[in-house]
Each structure stands twice: as structure tokens, then as C-alpha cells.
A = this chain, B = another copy of it.
């Protein structure tokens, strides 16, 4: 779990292919993983995609070579680097989350990425007491040896970064590494770069939109062993981060507050639903000391606090909240494969390495139409779909992947799928 130096570095060509594959619009982390597992490498997947995606009935735009070259140049100008999943500097805890970004862009000190971390998040319009508590927590937990991770927002986040500059801090931003939001944090960003790290999974030049923030929040929680929600209103982004943290098996702490303060609504609800009390920074440090013997955090917590959020799709890959039973997870996982077969960067053993990719797409048009015809807006299980289609599981998965690349498939929890 903390094998921070495992994995091997990509060649420049491989890194180029990874970046290009990950920058395709409908290829999020989960699809990326499926493609690597199916085709053996990013290069092979990029070669197969045009044939494969044609069947999905909606155009798949693959990033051009020029776009990727432009992004690499932008990175060089900013002194940024890319770290791919499976490479030694890729944060070990992040590798274990449900949808780890295939590649992250970073500025600053790589070393902070492999240190143990605690996330501190909260309201943008923080109270004076919330800011004081944040500063104290970031300072004390930082001095205890933990990097402080936060989301670089106004209020609690900014104070958490500021108070941990000396001991180590990571800012995870929702847009491209060259798109600073909020703009008044430009100076803070440079200080974080000098003394910590700023990371993003989004392309250079990407202006953050609303849905990029909750997507980003899974990285804030994913980087950390524990997280503290200092202040959070009802239905706030911090509660989404807390939900991710619980699902990722992280310790979730919340700071209580007066019921008369709307900024305590979210934290009080988290506590009522089972989050741990953070009454002093030491509470978190003590819990992490005990954590080696610890049990995973139960993921059915926070139903009250986050229940109505779960129905809002957060980003293009749909339901992040539950895909534990995704049938495709039976395929070798990227991170497992890295250590087994890292030599040629076939991140998972390809199903049939010598088989040309298009040949496996030779499904009869009838079989394809049958599977698509059986799908509708109501979620059904892939198993039921296989039975109803009287097709092989492999053929049904091929059609589902085509639809997914075309952005026409939604995956729900429990191995359920529906047509968008």
C-alpha cells in the first residue's frame, strides 16, 4: 500500500501515447483502464480506436498529435511534469482509488507526492473560528509529518495550504495546471509550487467547469489517509469529498459547530452519520497512529449527508459512487499488471497480443443490433443482457465498450447499465 517507489517510468513515446489516449473526450479513467487491459498498451488502443469506435454510432474524437505536442510544450514552459499511473512518483494511495487518473500533471516537489497525507477541506465563506481551527490543524498535523492536501479554494482550503507551506502541501486543482482558479490565488499557487506541489488530471488550457470540482474532490480524498471537514454547508462540495473519502476507506473527521451556523450543517450531519470527531488536531494524529491496526472505514456511512447527491452525475463517466461490482473489474487491473509485466509497458497482459485489434470486432451486425436493441433507459444487469441477447459475454462487453466510447452508455452500481 505504501510502496511509493514501485513501478517503472514510461518512455517519452509511451508517455505521449498515454497522454493522447487520456485526452480523448469520452475516455475517462475507467474507460482508459479497460482499453489498456484490452489492447495491451496505449499505442495499440489508439490504433484500434477508430475501427472500434465507429460502431458506437457517435463520433469519437481522438486528440490530435498537434494538440498533445502543444500540451507538452505548455508543460515545459511552466516547469510542469506528467506522472503516469504505475510510475514510481505516482501517489501510492491515489493508485488504489476507484478511478485513478491515468496521468497527472504536476508542478513543484515530486517528493511530497509520496509522503503520508491528510486532507483538510471546508467552506469558501469560512468563519473566523473555522479559519483559526484550520490553521491550527494544518500546522500541528503538518509538524507531525503529514503533507496537507486541499482543493485550493477560497476560505478553509487556502488557509490549510498557507499554514502547511513549511511542512508540505499539495493543491489539487479542477482545471488545467495553467488555469488558476480563483484568480486571486495566483501568488498562493506559486508559493505552493515552491514549497509543495500543485496537481491536476485535466489538460493544460482546461477552464474548470462546475462538474470538474466534484470530480477533482475524489483526488483530494484519494491522496490522503484521513480527511477533516472543518466547515461545510448543506449539499456542499466538502460533503462530496467526504463521501469519496468514506468510499475510499479513508478516515473522515468533521469539526462540530453550532446548529445556528449554516456552515456547521454539513459537518454536524456528517458527525451524526458516523464521522469521527475532530475536536483537536491531535485526534487525527492519534487515529492515524492507530490506523496500522485499523479496519477499513465502512462505506455505508454518510447516507443522509450525501444521499441526494449520489443521483447527480458528477462527470462524464457517470456514477462514481458505486462500481464495486463492475463486471469488467474481473479483467486484470492496471496497477496489478504494472509490477508483473512492466518491461514493455503492456500494463495488463493483452488478451491476444498477436491478434490484430480490428479482428476482434467482427461481430455480426445482427448480434450488435440485438444487444443495442435490448438496452434502454432502465438499468439492467450485464448478466441479464448476455442471457437475453443469447450472445457470449465477450461479445456483449465489446458492444458495451463501443457504446461507452460513443458516450451512449451509463454504468450504474451493481453491474447495471443503461442507454443514455
Chain A positions within 8 Å of B, measured between CB atoms, are 129, 132-133, 255-261, 264-265, 268-269, 271-272, 277-280
Question: What chain B residues lie within 8 Å of A129 (beta carbons)?
Answer: 258, 260-261
Question: What chain B residues lie within 8 Å of A280 (beta carbons)?
Answer: 259
Q: Quick one: closest B residue to A128, CB to CB?
A: B260
CA distance A261 to B272 in the complex (A): 20
Question: What chain B residues lie within 8 Å of A132 (beta carbons)?
Answer: 260
CA distance A271 to B256 in the complex (A): 10
Question: What chain B residues lie within 8 Å of A256 (beta carbons)?
Answer: 256-259, 264, 268, 271
11 interchain pairs (CB within 8 A)? A129-B260, A133-B259, A255-B258, A257-B257, A257-B258, A258-B258, A258-B264, A259-B280, A268-B279, A271-B271, A272-B277
* In the complex, the 3 A-B pairs of residues with the closest C-beta atoms, listed nearest first: A256-B256, A259-B279, A272-B277
CA distance A279 to B255 in the complex (A): 14
CA distance A139 to B268 in the complex (A): 23
Report A265 CB to chain B, min CB distance, Å. Answer: 8
Report A269 CB to chain B, min CB distance, Å. Answer: 8
Question: What chain B residues lie within 8 Å of A268 (beta carbons)?
Answer: 256, 277, 279
- Give the residue among A133, A255, A259, A277 with the most B Cβ atoms within 10 A: A259
Report A226 CB to chain B, min CB distance, Å. Answer: 16
CA distance A264 to B256 in the complex (A): 9
CA distance A280 to B132 in the complex (A): 26
Q: Quick one: closest B residue to A278, CB to CB?
A: B259
Report A148 CB to chain B, min CB distance, Å. Answer: 18
Q: Quick one: closest B residue to A256, CB to CB?
A: B256
Question: What chain B residues lie within 8 Å of A277 (beta carbons)?
Answer: 268, 271-272
- Give the residue among A260, A261, A264 with the most B Cβ atoms within 10 A: A260
CA distance A280 to B280 in the complex (A): 25
Question: What chain B residues lie within 8 Å of A133 (beta carbons)?
Answer: 258-260
Q: Quick one: closest B residue to A277, CB to CB?
A: B272
Q: Quick one: closest B residue to A273, CB to CB?
A: B277
Report A150 CB to chain B, min CB distance, Å. Answer: 19
- Give the residue among A129, A256, A261 with the most B Cβ atoms within 10 A: A256
Q: Quick one: closest B residue to A265, CB to CB?
A: B279
Given contacts A256-B256, A259-B280, A271-B271, 19 further A-B contacts (CB under 8 A): A129-B258, A129-B260, A129-B261, A133-B258, A133-B259, A133-B260, A256-B257, A256-B259, A256-B268, A256-B271, A257-B257, A258-B264, A259-B278, A259-B279, A268-B277, A268-B279, A269-B279, A272-B277, A272-B279
Q: Quick one: closest B residue to A254, CB to CB?
A: B256
Report A29 CB to chain B, min CB distance, Å. Answer: 37
CA distance A20 to B418 in the complex (A): 81
Q: Quick one: closest B residue to A281, CB to CB?
A: B259
Question: What chain B residues lie within 8 Å of A260 (beta carbons)?
Answer: 129, 132-133
Question: What chain B residues lie within 8 Å of A257 (beta carbons)?
Answer: 256-258
CA distance A336 to B218 in the complex (A): 61
